[in-house]
Amino acid sequence: MEDVKPPAPPDPLPPRRRPTEAELRLWPYLRRKIPGCRFRRDEAVGPYIVDFICLAPKIIIEIDSADIDREQCLRAEGFQLLSFNSEDVLADTAGVVSRILAELPDSAASTRQGAVLPEDERWMRHALMVARRAADAGEVPVGAVLVDRNGEIVAEGWNLPISLHDASAHAEMLALRSAGQKLGNYRLAGTTLYVTLEPCVMCAGAIIHARVSRLVFGARDPKAGAVDSVYDVIARPRLNHQPEWVGGVLEGEAAELLRDFFRERRTPR
Choose between 61 and 128: whose C-beta lies nearer to Zn ion.
Answer: 128
Choose between 91 and 201: whose C-beta lies nearer to Zn ion.
Answer: 201
Distances (CA, A) of 221 to 46, 138, 192, 224, 229: 49, 20, 20, 6, 7
Q: How far is the CB of 170 from Zn ion (least distance, A)?
A: 3
Tell me how many degrees the CA angle 168-172-174 measures, rounded to the nearest 5: 65
Choose between 54 and 200: whose C-beta lies nearer to Zn ion.
Answer: 200
Active-site choice (23, 156, 172, 198): 172
Residue partners of 194: CB distance under 8 A and separation at least 6: 120, 123, 124, 126, 127, 144, 145, 146, 147, 216, 217, 249
Site stretch for Zn ion (CB under 5 A), options 55-63, 98-106, 158-166, 199-207:
199-207
Site stretch for Zn ion (CB under 5 A), options 74-82, 174-182, 198-206, 248-256:
198-206
- Cα separation of 149 and 108, whole Å? 29
Strand partners, 193: 146, 215
- Cα separation of 194 and 115, whole Å? 14
Site stretch for Zn ion (CB under 5 A), options 36-44, 49-57, 59-67, 170-178:
170-178
- Binding status of residue 170 toward Zn ion by CB under 5 A: yes
Q: How far is the CB of 41 from Zn ion (least distance, A)?
A: 40
Choose between 23 and 139: whose C-beta lies nearer to Zn ion.
Answer: 139
Site stretch for Zn ion (CB under 5 A), options 9-17, 40-48, 130-138, 201-209:
201-209
Choose between 57 and 161: whose C-beta lies nearer to Zn ion.
Answer: 161
- Cα separation of 180 and 38, whole Å? 35
Taking CB under 5 A as the criterion, the residue among 203, 210, 212, 216 binding Zn ion is 203
- Binding status of residue 63 toward Zn ion by CB under 5 A: no
H-helix segments, 29-170: 68-76, 86-91, 93-103, 106-109, 120-136, 161-164
Taking CB under 5 A as the criterion, the residue among 61, 200, 233, 257 binding Zn ion is 200
Is 172 designated active site? Answer: yes
Residues 155, 185 contacting (CB under 8 angstroms): no
- Cα separation of 70 and 43, whole Å? 14
- Cα separation of 185 and 16, whole Å? 43
Q: φ, ψ for residue 79 (rounded to 5)?
A: -95, 145
Considering CB under 5 A, how many residues would be counted as binding Zn ion? Answer: 3
What's the distance, CA 194 to chain centroid? 16
Q: How far is the CB of 56 from Zn ion (least distance, A)?
A: 35
Q: How far is the CB of 102 from Zn ion (least distance, A)?
A: 26
Q: How far is the CB of 203 from Zn ion (least distance, A)?
A: 3
Binding site residues, Zn ion, CB under 5 A: 170, 200, 203
Which residues does the annotation mark as catalytic?
A: 172
